Amino acid sequence: MKLKEAAKKVEDGIEETLIYCDFPSEHWTRIHTNNVIEQLNREIRRRTRVVGTFPDGNSALILVCARLRHVAGTQWGSKKYMNMKHLETALDDAFIAG
Query: In 3D, which of 88, 77, 74 has the Cα closest to residue 24?
Result: 88
pLDDT of the chain along its 98 residues, tens only? 567 888 888 888 888 777 777 777 777 766 656 666 777 888 888 888 887 778 877 888 888 888 888 877 776 656 665 567 777 787 788 778 76
Rounded Cα distance between 43 and 25, Å, is: 29
pLDDT of residue 83: 63
pLDDT of residue 70: 84
Cβ-based neighbours of 44, under 8 Å, separated by 6 or more: 63, 64, 67
